[in-house]
Amino acid sequence: MARGREAAAQAETWEHQAGDKEKPFPYEDHQEVNSPTRELLLHLLLTNMDEVIKDAKTGDSVGFSDHALVDFTTLRYMGQIVEGILLEDMSMHMEDWEVIRDSQHGFSKGKACLNKLIVFYNGVTASVEKGRATDVIYLDFYKAFDTVSHNILAANVERS
């Protein structure tokens, strides 16, 4: 539930940054998105939406046409909440299973490409100060990836 609260707070931050005058939810207390709500939202994303809600008495599926409409603003922020929860889960999974190495920069929080360049520069400077022979080779792959067809690159990746 704490993750739901954090995601709801993040959605509220996005609302204020966007300058919307609307409330993200029609309810006063929207800070807690409990587990059943989260599971329903995930179920909505992964299944046929018309068969999500079951009638408690008959057990039959009830279509959404039988219910009142939901404010689109609410749906927009609920999507952001689900996105935040999924992002957090995926990030924790990648950290737990060490999918991204510590040496990887540019895609990790707090590890920008600039940080990697500073680490590299400090290493080269230390080598030069100690009198070691130091060679640096700069490669610019930017143009290479712009001129090669993405289909060719994808085919090479699939083969390897």
pLDDT digits (tens, 9 = 90+) for 144-159: 667 777 788 788 888 8
What pLDDT is recorded for position 82?
A: 83
pLDDT digits (tens, 9 = 90+) for 60-98: 655 555 555 556 666 777 778 888 888 888 888 888 888
* Closest alpha carbon to 40 in 52, 23, 24, 28: 52
Q: What is the pLDDT of residue 56?
A: 56
Backbone angles phi, psi at 80, to 5 degrees: -65, -35
